[in-house]
């Protein structure tokens, strides 16, 4: 009988039995199911299991968070269920049965725009700052702006436009690059194609509306002419052009002999895609984008705009769960290009704040529950800064009613926003700093809307939580960590818990970021524990402190677990979804049971291969068990050198 046999039998029952499982696999922390009928899964019962830390559904997969002993759990489950596991690729393919065509399209769009979000956020913040110094008349009796009275700030305003223009005017370059990266084709060709869409030789897209048709420059080919129009800030023309390049390159690679493919494939792929982009798809994409933005703008300006806003504000948070919210990025950018501002983005910012306010009420309700606050406090902060997944998955959806209260507050704020005509100049951070993206004349009323989405969800959540008795007694898990130590390692772990650990060294060189900024909801929510992530500059994972190697992922080699000399247990995870690479580009220097010193090499990984496979190479360290450590101060927001700098300082180390 295995360690998790009992829980495995219950999990099999709770997911609807063997006949409801189309496929199952696991990664380093989660069991991944494709269920024939997802509605049969009893999530409440599953989350009550001592070994389960939570559940969620993503991309057609029902995932159960187990932690760093998931491989042991998986083996016991496979034996109990009598099901042979499959690869993660097979699971993803099988998961398509649970996705509609729209969901598959939205999933693809999400993967295209996700890498662009940091740049778009930076651009939005910069444009917002330029609003404040260059548009709001605060001086000389409200008649002059800061840039009008100061040469220095006028220079800053002009300089910052260099970045704002690069982000938004040249957005098609980023979009086409992202498409080629996602589809695994030549990214350099994508960049070149994107540049042809915004070339200075073309009439700027912003000047088309004010230029007479006869004055628009043209390429004259004798038999026909093509307008020389640029597609600055346009989304759909870039998307259509990018996919054209991808499928042309795939086609020519398939039919072209290998000896001449280096010349033939890029030449014909790029030449044809540029011609088609400017002659056919660019104008079509422009028109489709204009129609979409016109329809959305009509809904936001019609006599029924209050109803439209209320519905959107209420249901935006559930859209985040499905991933469909990424489509709003494209619509926002199109609205900005066509109408000089977007009414959609302010509602999104308000929805994020509303979910954070619900978490804030949960923090107050659970003020005596230190374990709950380990998740809720960072989740609230990240939500107010525009990242909602930790708040929603880690707190609000777990309890249910805070999520609904946040939706209700969001609906009220959205109605006020749209009825007041609030517009944003750009897409910025979607939380409280989002006010920087709002057009200056609307900042005051937007601040009022922000007040509503802070107050309403907070009061509703607190009142309902008090009625339900939340926080009246500390919620404890029935899982006893001590019982989960495998017998064959128990003696070694006990011997290891003799020396104090005062700090955790950088395990790779690079920029340290907070856990809540990791673009994976399980890590970001803190469901597995606190920690940090590093954007690596090298390809060697090192031990952050002295300890024992508890586990190394056998096939994929992308993660390992350590037990330190004070009983702390760490999970070190290289990249996101890198389990799909099946060990290609990874080499382990250690095995379970090995003793390591701080700075010892654990795993080598090829960052270029990870990038070409379409994955993030971010390296994550999760504290899955604090052991006897004191308070931990995570050192984030700076660049560190492997083994030379600390990423965590342990106060009261024992």
The Cα 347–Cα 543 span in angstroms is: 45
pLDDT for the residue 85: 54
Confidence at 389, pLDDT banded by 50, 70, 90: low
Top mean-pLDDT range of 429-433, 474-478, 598-602: 598-602
pLDDT for the residue 396: 82
Confidence at 20, pLDDT banded by 50, 70, 90: confident
Confidence at 323, pLDDT banded by 50, 70, 90: very low
Confidence at 478, pLDDT banded by 50, 70, 90: very low
Tokens 């049971």, residue?
593
State how beta strands 218-220 and 225-227 pair: antiparallel
Q: Domain 491-651 belongs to what architecture?
A: Distorted Sandwich (2.70)
Q: What is the CATH code for 5-99?
A: 3.30.1360.60
The Cα 649–Cα 133 span in angstroms is: 40
pLDDT for the residue 534: 95
Tokens representing residue 238 in the block: 């870039």
Q: Are 573 and 558 in contact (CB under 8 A)?
A: yes
The Cα 650–Cα 654 span in angstroms is: 9
Between 387 and 308, residue with greater pLDDT: 308
Cα–Cα distances in angstroms (integers) from residue 382 to residues 108, 378, 632, in the given order: 25, 6, 19
Name which of 58-67, 515-524, 572-581 the model is least confident about: 58-67
pLDDT for the residue 103: 58
Give residue-wise pLDDT tens across range 578-618. Answer: 888 888 899 999 988 889 999 999 999 999 889 888 888 99
Between 449 and 486, residue with greater pLDDT: 449
Between 341 and 147, residue with greater pLDDT: 147
- Share in percent of the chain as helix, strand, coil (round to 5): 55, 15, 30
Cα–Cα distances in angstroms (integers) from residue 270 to residues 186, 265, 350, 354, 452, in the given order: 10, 8, 42, 46, 51
List the domain boundaries for the chain: 5-99, 110-204+227-293, 301-468, 491-651
Confidence at 498, pLDDT banded by 50, 70, 90: low
Residue whose C-alpha is closest to residue 346's, from 456, 434, 453 = 434
State how beta strands 531-536 and 510-514 pair: antiparallel
The Cα 603–Cα 587 span in angstroms is: 6
As a whole number, mean pLDDT of residues 551-573 equals: 87
Give residue-wise pLDDT tens across range 45-96. Answer: 898 888 887 787 766 678 888 876 777 888 889 888 887 654 445 555 554 5
The Cα 335–Cα 345 span in angstroms is: 10
pLDDT for the residue 456: 96
Three-state SS for 23?
strand
Give residue-wise pLDDT tens across range 186-216. Answer: 999 999 999 999 999 999 887 876 788 888 9
pLDDT for the residue 448: 95
Confidence at 489, pLDDT banded by 50, 70, 90: very low
For helices 282-301 and 327-339, the axis angle rounded to 10 degrees is 90
Confidence at 148, pLDDT banded by 50, 70, 90: very high
Q: Which residues pair with 24 in a beta bridge?
A: 33
Helix (H) or strand (E) holding 524: helix 521-524
The Cα 368–Cα 473 span in angstroms is: 9
Q: Which residues pair with 564 in a beta bridge?
A: 547
Q: What is the pLDDT of the chain when averaged over all its residues?
A: 82
User: Does the pLDDT value for residue 144 go beyond 70?
Assistant: yes
Out of 27, 174, 383, 560, which one is annotated catalytic? 27
Q: 407 exposed, middle or buried (CB, 10 Å; 0-12, 13-18, 19+)?
A: buried
State how beta strands 601-605 and 586-588 pair: antiparallel
Task: Identify whether 295 is a catalytic site residue.
Answer: no
State the number of CA atoms in the 13 A half-sphere of 420 facing the CB. Answer: 22
As a whole number, mean pLDDT of residues 371-398 equals: 75
The Cα 377–Cα 30 span in angstroms is: 24
Name which of 32-36, 102-106, 400-404, 595-599 the model is least confident about: 102-106
The Cα 431–Cα 413 span in angstroms is: 13
Strand ordering across the sheet containing 547-552: 595-596, 547-552, 559-564, 569-574, 619-625, 531-536, 510-514, 638-640
């Amino acid at each position: 009988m295995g360690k998790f046999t009992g829980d495995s039998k219950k999990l099999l029952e709770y997911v609807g039995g063997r006949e409801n499982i189309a496929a199952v696999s696991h990664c380093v922390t989660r069991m991944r199911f494709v269920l024939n009928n997802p509605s049969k899964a009893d999530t409440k019962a599953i989350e009550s299991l001592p070994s389960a830390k939570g559940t969620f559904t993503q991309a057609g997969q029902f995932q159960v968070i187990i932690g760093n002993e998931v491989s042991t759990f998986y083996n016991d489950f496979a034996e109990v269920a009598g099901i042979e596991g499959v690869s993660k690729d097979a699971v993803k393919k099988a998961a398509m049965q649970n996705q509609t065509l729209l969901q598959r399209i939205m999933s693809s769009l999400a993967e295209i725009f996700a890498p662009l979000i940091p740049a778009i956020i930076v651009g939005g913040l910069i444009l917002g700052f330029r609003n404040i110094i260059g548009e709001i008349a605060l001086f000389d009796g409200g008649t002059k702006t800061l840039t009008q009275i100061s040469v220095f700030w006028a220079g800053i305003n002009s300089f910052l436009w260099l970045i704002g223009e690069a982000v938004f005017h040249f957005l098609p370059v980023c979009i086409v690059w992202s498409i080629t990266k996602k589809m695994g084709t030549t990214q350099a060709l994508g960049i070149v194609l994107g540049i042809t869409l915004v070339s200075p030789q073309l009439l700027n897209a912003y000047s088309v509306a004010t230029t007479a048709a006869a004055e628009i420059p043209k390429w004259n080919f004798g038999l026909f002419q093509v307008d020389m129009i640029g597609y600055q800030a346009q989304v759909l023309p870039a998307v259509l052009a990018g996919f054209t390049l991808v499928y042309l390159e795939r086609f020519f690679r398939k039919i072209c002999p290998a000896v001449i493919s280096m010349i033939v494939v890029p030449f014909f792929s790029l030449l044809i895609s540029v011609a088609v982009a400017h002659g056919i798809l660019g104008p079509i994409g422009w028109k489709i984008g204009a129609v979409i933005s016109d329809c959305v703008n009509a809904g936001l300006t019609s006599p029924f705009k209050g109803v439209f806003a209320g519905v959107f504000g209420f249901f935006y948070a559930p859209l985040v769960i499905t991933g469909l919210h990424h489509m709003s990025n494209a619509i926002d950018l199109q609205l900005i290009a066509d109408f000089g501002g977007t009414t959609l983005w302010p509602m999104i910012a308000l929805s994020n704040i509303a979910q954070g306010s619900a978490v804030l009420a949960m923090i107050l309700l659970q003020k005596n529950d230190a374990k709950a606050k380990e998740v809720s406090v960072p989740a609230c902060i990240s939500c107010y800064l525009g990242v909602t997944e930790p708040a929603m998955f880690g707190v609000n959806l777990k309890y249910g009613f805070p999520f609904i209260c946040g939706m209700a507050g969001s609906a009220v704020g959205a109605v006020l926003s749209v009825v007041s005509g609030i517009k944003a100049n750009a897409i910025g951070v979607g939380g409280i700093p989002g006010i920087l993206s709002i057009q200056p004349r609307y900042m005051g009323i937007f601040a009022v809307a922000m007040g509503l989405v802070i107050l309403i969800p907070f009061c509703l959540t607190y009142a309902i939580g008090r009625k339900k008795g939340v926080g009246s007694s500390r919620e404890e898990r029935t899982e006893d960590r001590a019982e989960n130590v495998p017998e064959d390692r128990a003696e070694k772990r006990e011997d290891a818990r003799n020396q104090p650990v005062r700090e955790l060294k950088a395990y790779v060189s690079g920029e340290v970021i907070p856990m809540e900024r990791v673009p994976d909801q399980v890590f970001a929510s803190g469901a597995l524990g606190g920690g940090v992530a590093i954007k690596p500059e090298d390809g060697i994972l090192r031990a952050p402190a002295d300890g024992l190697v508890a586990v190394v992922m056998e096939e994929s080699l992308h993660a390992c677990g350590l037990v330190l000399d004070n009983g702390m247990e760490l999970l070190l995870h290289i990249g996101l979804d890198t389990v799909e690479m099946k060990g290609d580009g990874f080499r382990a220097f250690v095995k379970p049971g090995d003793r390591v010193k701080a700075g010892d090499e654990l795993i080598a990984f090829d960052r270029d291969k990870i990038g070409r496979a379409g994955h993030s190479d971010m390296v994550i360290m999760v504290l899955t068990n604090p052991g006897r450590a004191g308070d931990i101060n995570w050192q984030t927001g700076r660049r560190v050198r492997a083994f030379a700098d600390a990423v965590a300082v342990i106060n009261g180390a024992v």
